[in-house]
Each structure stands twice: as structure tokens, then as C-alpha cells.
């Protein structure tokens, strides 16, 4: 493996330290079977506070679209694979490897990520140079995020929330006061094990479909806020550029 360097640009996205617990599992028999995910990541993320402006949001979207689960070769060549085919290498996105019995793979999971979110808040700012241009704050009090990247290029994203709070954090310039109705979505008083909200995304080659489920809760429909939030979320990430100076 050649050497590499990770260099930080811009301010930190995190306000304070957070707690992260990760468990990573890998299918060592992915060259012959996909009964389990090629790579499975399960994490618990607690007490996280993130601030995102528009350029940072587009950067994260680009990372999720173009970097996470991209096709890479193994740092070593399996001796078992070498005995079968000397030119074989493992790949996260390889769809040419067959299952046991010679059956072709159809949409198996290359990468499966599951995060339990506890007291995680994400603040969205409309502009990068203004500290008073806050748009919204999303508090994932008790939620689960699952992302599955498949061998055919499709991706499934599921967000299940038992408790979630979304607030309108805009301030009027005249008196620096917030809107009277600041809670767009508010957690129920007695939630227990009841699911409060679900968001499901199914991204395929030709289309992307979303399903949103709200259960036994009150949603404040502030139309101008919804339009601004929609435009923020639907921002298109920049396509990656190839650095010709790297060999």
C-alpha cells in the first residue's frame, strides 16, 4: 500500500467531542458467496452536534455519492483466489463474482451501514459567511439510520425515528426574534416504542423514490420554510475531478 495523507480544510463541523462506537465485519468468502454483506458496519453515535452550511452540505453529499463504497482493489491478493484465477482481485463493487453453485449475483450488498443515533443534532445554515442565517435544527433524539449499497449501483437509505425534533431557527432581522411556531415536528410526550417518523429512499439507475411516514404526531406546515428547506436539501453535489499530478 502506498502512503497517503489526510489534510483538513476549513472549520470543524463538530461543536464538541462526541461518542462513537463501531463494529466492522467483512465477508472473507465474498469471492465465492454473498450470503452476508461484503462489508457490514454497525455504529452507535451519541451526543453529536454538527453545523453545516451549504458548501459543507454539498461536500458531504459528494462524499456519500462518489466516495463511500467506491470500487477499490484489495491491498493483498488472496492465496485461494490466486489458485483459482491468478488475475483475480477482490473489489467492493465487483459484480462478476458468482455465488456458490455458479449462480450470478443479483443486487447483493457490497456495503451495509447501520447507525443508532442518540442525542444527535444537525444545524443547517443557508450561507457560509453568516452566523445569523440559520435555517433549521434537526435533533435525532432516538433514531436509526441504515444505508445499503448494492453491487448493481443501487442504494437504499432508511431512517427510522422514535423521537425526532425539527425546529425553524430563522431569525427576523428587525428584532432578532424567531417565528412564533418554531417546532416543525415535535416528539410525542409518551412515545415509548412507537415509531414517530420513517423516511425511505430507493435509488436506482433511472430514478429515485422517497417514502415518508409520520405516525400520530403534529406537523407544522410553514410553507416558506418548507420551500427553503427543500431547495437546501436538493442541492446538487459537485462532480469529482481527477488530479493529474497524482501518480
- pLDDT on residue 143: 94
The closest alpha carbon to 29, from 75, 95, 80, belongs to 80
* 167, three cell numbers: 425546529
- pLDDT on residue 68: 67
Query: Could you tell me how far CA 237 lies from the centroid of its own chain?
Result: 14
- Using an 8 Å Cβ cutoff, are 168 and 179 in contact? yes
Neighbours of 119 (CB within 10 A): 16
DSSP codes, the chain: ---------SS-SBSS--EEEEEEEE-TTTTT--SS-SEEEEEEEEEEEEEE-HHHHHHHHHIIIIITT---B-SS--HHHHHH-TT---BTT---PPPTTSPPP-S-EEEEEEEEEEEEEEEEES-SS-TT-EEEEEEEEEEEEEEEEETTS-EEEEEEEEEEEEEE--B-TTT--B-S--EEE---TT-TT---EEEEEEE-SS-EEEEEEE-S--B---HHHHHHHHHHHTPPPPPP---TT--
- pLDDT on residue 82: 45
- pLDDT on residue 176: 57
Q: What is the largest CA-CA distance in the chain?
A: 74
* 150, three cell numbers: 448494492
- pLDDT on residue 131: 52
- pLDDT on residue 59: 84
Q: Tell me the average confidence (pLDDT) per consecutive run of 10 residues in the chain, 247 residues long.
A: 70 83 89 85 93 86 72 45 44 46 60 93 76 82 91 87 89 61 79 82 85 85 88 79 58
| Surface-to-core class of residue 221, CB atoms within 10 Å of its CB (0-12 exposed, 13-18 middle, 19+ buried) | exposed
Instruction: Phi first, then psi: give them for residue 240, nearest 5 degrees.
Output: -65, 145
* 82, three cell numbers: 490466486
- pLDDT on residue 118: 93
Amino acid at each position: 500500500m502506498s502512503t497517503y495523507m489526510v489534510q483538513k480544510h476549513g472549520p470543524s463541523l463538530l461543536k464538541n467531542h462526541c461518542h462513537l462506537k463501531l463494529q466492522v465485519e467483512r465477508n472473507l468468502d465474498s469471492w465465492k458467496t454473498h450470503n452476508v454483506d461484503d462489508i457490514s458496519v454497525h455504529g452507535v453515535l451519541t451526543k453529536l452536534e454538527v453545523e453545516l452550511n451549504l458548501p459543507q452540505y454539498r461536500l458531504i453529499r459528494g462524499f456519500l455519492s462518489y466516495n463511500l463504497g467506491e470500487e477499490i482493489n484489495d491491498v493483498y491478493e488472496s492465496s485461494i483466489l490466486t489458485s483459482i484465477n491468478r488475475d483475480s482481485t477482490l473489489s467492493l463493487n465487483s459484480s462478476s463474482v458468482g455465488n456458490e453453485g455458479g449462480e450470478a449475483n443479483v443486487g447483493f450488498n457490497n456495503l451495509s451501514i447501520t447507525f443508532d443515533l442518540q442525542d444527535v443534532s444537525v444545524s443547517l445554515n443557508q450561507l457560509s459567511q453568516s452566523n445569523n442565517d440559520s435555517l433549521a435544527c434537526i435533533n435525532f433524539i432516538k433514531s436509526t439510520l441504515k444505508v445499503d449499497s448494492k453491487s448493481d449501483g443501487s442504494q437504499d437509505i432508511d431512517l427510522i425515528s422514535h423521537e425526532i425534533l425539527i425546529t425553524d431557527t430563522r431569525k427576523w432581522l428587525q428584532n432578532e426574534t424567531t417565528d412564533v411556531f418554531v417546532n416543525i415536528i415535535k416528539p410525542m410526550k409518551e412515545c415509548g416504542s412507537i415509531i414517530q417518523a420513517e423516511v425511505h429512499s430507493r435509488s436506482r439507475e433511472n430514478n429515485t423514490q422517497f417514502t415518508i411516514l409520520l405516525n400520530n404526531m403534529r406537523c407544522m406546515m410553514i410553507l416558506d420554510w418548507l420551500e427553503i428547506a427543500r431547495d437546501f436539501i436538493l442541492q446538487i453535489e459537485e462532480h469529482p475531478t481527477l488530479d493529474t499530478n497524482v501518480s
